[in-house]
Amino acid sequence: MTTAREHLQSTWRWAVQTARLCCGVPDYDVYVAHLKEHHPEKVIPSYGEFFRERQEARYKGTGGRCC
């Protein structure tokens, strides 16, 4: 059984993820999980590096997906 606090935290995480996706910024945790599963040889970037790369891909038209 979930508590009211757990429900609120879950709702907040969902809202933040939705807002980021609406702005074109994929979820960092999902990206890290993808890298670990599909590209274990790659170095995992910091959140700042990830954010800058996503912004560049979005606004410079360089694509943005590896798979």
Hey, where are the domains in the chain? 26-60
Kindly report the pTM of this predicted structure. Answer: 0.57
Give CA 12 to chain center in angstroms: 15
For residue 39, the model assigns a pLDDT of 95
Lowest mean pLDDT among 3-12, 17-26, 44-53: 17-26
26: left (phi over 0), alpha (psi -120 to 50) or beta: beta
CA–CA separation, 25 vs 3, rounded Å?
30
Average pLDDT of every residue of the chain:
84
The whole-number average pLDDT for the span 10-22 is 85
CA–CA separation, 56 vs 42, rounded Å?
19
CA–CA separation, 9 vs 58, rounded Å?
29
Q: In residues, how long is the chain?
A: 67
